[in-house]
Chains A and B, each alone.
Chain A
Amino acid sequence: MTAASLTDADAKTSVPLKRRLKRAERARQLKAFALVGPLLLFLLFTFAGPIAGMLWHAVDDREVRQVLPQTVASLAGWDGKDLPDEKTYAALAGDLQAARAAGTIAIAAKRLNYALNGFRTILISTARNLKAMPEPGTAKEALGKINPAWRERATWTTIRDASGPVTGFYLLGALDLVRNADGAIVAAPPDQAIYREVFARTFLISLGVTVLCLILGFPVAYLLATLPPGRSNLLMIFVLLPFWTSLLVRTCAWIVLLQSKGVVNDSLRWLGIIDEPLRLIYNRFGVCVAMTHVLLPFMILPLYSSMKAISPAYMRAAASLGAAPVTAFLRVYLPQTLPGIGAGSLLVFILALGYYITPALVGGAADQMISYFIALYTTETANWGLASALGAVLLLATVLLALVYGKLVQGQQVTGGMKN
């Protein structure tokens, strides 16, 4: 037997073995993935699907198209320069009669009223006064007589812009932008432009709370990380107990403490510091205090774990090399806590951005954050498009920050230190 045939035989048996190993490994991987599968499917149904649905609502615009199909079709050929032609007026008259019979006018009226205040009245009064189909060729005149708005170009561009099936109207609206009669994107009229201010307020409150949490959390995390384990474990209860206490209990507690006849005001009056009770709740102060209380553990825990990982040998080395304590702290210790500071701050900021319950309960009208408006438009006024668009902007901000957070904590241990 030659050497060549031997290696040949080797190859014959070893290749299938390799392949068999590969196949076994592939089967193992498939099985591993199959274990994750149920959760992925579940989250698709209870989380990803609903959020995709919400994003869809932010651009979905089929209400006017469904109620006024002929008008929408006829307006597709309109150049938008002059008033539409007689045929379009006749189509509208036909649509309105059909919609009135079907009882669907309110759906289109609601949508058009978002774009042009007063459109609801125009549409409903026109439908009511349109007793019969106008004679052929007189629709334009007849509609104009019922409501002069039909002689204005803006009325028609509003219908055209709302004819869907998708729209940027709500997303633009969420950023205080509108399309004017010529289709250009311009700033919304001041009386409707409130969301940039709301976003700025949300951002500002979140930032303020994050800074407060960092200032209050840093010394605590430092103390917990430097004390011997026995004592720090005991003190950790002060952080973990509020962390585990219901959000509503904590919010409730702050109201009890800070109200005008509450503990804080009573104590201050008893001490003679104030004569009249201070207004400490249902304003920005109350929101910041309660939110800082709720979010502080989310700052302390990541800071603590990053400080715990810093070996005291570094500080001793700095001292032995002649660094003053302040220098050693600023140039040796602090830089090593930066990942913890970044992770904690981002986490607190992300959670603060989406906060709803605490500001809703302890804030005044001028302290409501973006979540409040999303909830308001969903359940109270049923302006689902705008609610979804505001939600989309908030989601985008959250996802971007979460990506940065993910990069930051990559490699660091993912702790169970996150609780809603």
Chain B
Amino acid sequence: MSDASLRTPSQRIAWIGTIVISTLVFIFLIAPILAIMPLSFSSGSYLTYPLPGFSFRWYNDFISSPRWMNALKNSMIIGVASTLLSMVLGTLAALGLAQWKSRFKPLVLAFVLSPVVVPGVITAVGLYFFFAPIGLTGSYLGLILAHTALATPFVVITVGATLQSFDTNLARAAASLGASPLEAFRRVILPLILPGLASGALFAFATSFDEVVIVLFMAGPEQRTLPREMFSGIRENISPTITAAAVILTTVSVILLATLEGLRRRNERLKGEGT
């Protein structure tokens, strides 16, 4: 709504009301995340304001704790591996779905996307029953496979969205010029859909990096991830070390979000040039 259209006083009041309420909601959304950060730099061991002093002791605690470092390592291993696997499976499927014409397509698409909607506990319980007899609980492989199943839908969605705006004539042109399908994919399609692939990968990594329900059910003591350690930490007694872990996790989210936003902007710019 441009300011010129705010002609009547009642409209102005409604607009001001919207701004006030929205500001309060924005505070509600952001304040908790901001409030937890300074506490991680506290020199005291209580999670209260005002801070007694500034120190890095809880970060030190985090870095020198084998438990937290192992969790960070696990989160990275499982996150990267399931991102790679979901990228391969999801990109292939998105390419296939873009060309496939069938009345069963909506059904297949719904199935492919369903891991997002099905409650985490149900997937976790099913996997626990299914993977235990074949030795996949308490293993990295089991967790990587499970996280891949959760992450792939995001890859299919993001890559699929990129393919929608992709001009298939370009692939045909490549073929007519003598490129093999693989070569056409590598040298024509791939560079064009790369931003979509990158955002798919970010989504996949974020999904795995934040996942906790499946890890709760399936991880042995060796495979505990960062969210899993935070879960038990919150349950027992929140120490400032957990707030330090929270800040580290939030920093990772901000980096992921910023990268995604950068990709989106780049994409919009390219689109703007095209028209």
Contact = CB atoms under 8 A, between A and B. Distances in A.
Interface of A: 28-29, 31-40, 42-43, 45-54, 57, 216-217, 219-220, 222-223, 226, 235, 238-242, 244-257, 259, 261-263, 266, 293, 296-297, 312, 316, 325-326, 329, 350, 353-357, 361, 371, 374-375, 378-379, 384, 387-388, 391, 394-395, 398, 402, 405-406, 414, 416, 418-420
Contacts of A257: 31-32, 35
Interface stretch (B52-60, B186-194, B202-210): B202-210
A355 B234 CA distance: 17
A378 B92 contact: no
A251 B98 CA distance: 39
B157 to A, nearest CB: 5
A221 to B, nearest CB: 9
A371 B121 contact: yes
Given A51-B122, A246-B250, A388-B125, A241 B199 contact: no
B215 to A, nearest CB: 11
A316 B30 contact: no
Contacts of B1: 226, 312
Contacts of A57: 129
B8 A216 contact: no
Given A244-B256, A262-B48, A398-B118, A36 B234 contact: no
B146 interface: yes
A241 B5 contact: no
B108 A40 contact: yes
Given A54-B129, A216-B25, A47 B19 contact: no
B102 to A, nearest CB: 7
Interface string B197-224: 0010001001101111100110000000
A225 B98 CA distance: 30
B120 A43 contact: no
B101 A378 contact: no
B96 A34 contact: yes
A32 to B, nearest CB: 4
B161 A253 contact: no
A242 to B, nearest CB: 5
A34 B31 CA distance: 48
Interface in B67-111: 88-90, 92-93, 95-102, 108, 110-111
Which of B8, B118, B227 gathers the greatest number of chain A CB atoms within 10 Å? B118
Q: Interface on chain A toward B: helix, strand, loop, or mixed SS? A: helix
Contacts of B217: 375, 378-379
Nearest 9 A/B pairs, CB to CB? A354-B119, A35-B96, A50-B126, A253-B32, A50-B130, A32-B100, A32-B99, A36-B96, A39-B93
A238 B257 CA distance: 12
B90 A248 contact: no
Contacts of A252: 36, 230, 234, 238, 242-243, 246
B117 interface: yes
A411 B249 CA distance: 36
A246 to B, nearest CB: 5
A63 to B, nearest CB: 15
Contacts of B95: 32, 35
Contacts of A325: 8, 10-11, 14
A49 B130 contact: yes
A394 B123 CA distance: 12
Contacts of B227: 246-248
Contacts, number: 292
A420 B210 contact: yes
Given A245-B33, A378-B128, 5 more contacts: A39-B152, A51-B118, A247-B210, A249-B249, A259-B47
B32 A50 contact: no
A254 B96 CA distance: 44
B114 interface: yes
A419 B122 contact: no
Contacts of A395: 118-119, 122
B46 interface: yes
A95 B77 CA distance: 50
Contacts of A357: 212-213, 231
Contacts of A49: 126, 130
B47 A262 contact: yes
Nearest to A392: B122
Contacts of A42: 89, 145, 148-149, 152
25 contacts: A29-B100, A32-B97, A38-B88, A40-B108, A47-B115, A50-B123, A50-B129, A54-B126, A220-B22, A220-B25, A244-B206, A246-B230, A246-B246, A247-B227, A249-B36, A253-B35, A257-B32, A262-B47, A354-B121, A356-B119, A375-B121, A375-B217, A402-B117, A406-B110, A419-B207
B98 to A, nearest CB: 8
Nearest to A225: B1
User: A220, A241, A245, A250: which has the most chain B beta carbons within 10 Å?
Assistant: A245
A420 B126 contact: no
Contacts of A32: 95-100
A371 B125 CA distance: 10
A91 to B, nearest CB: 31
B29 interface: yes
B33 A250 contact: yes
A414 B209 CA distance: 23
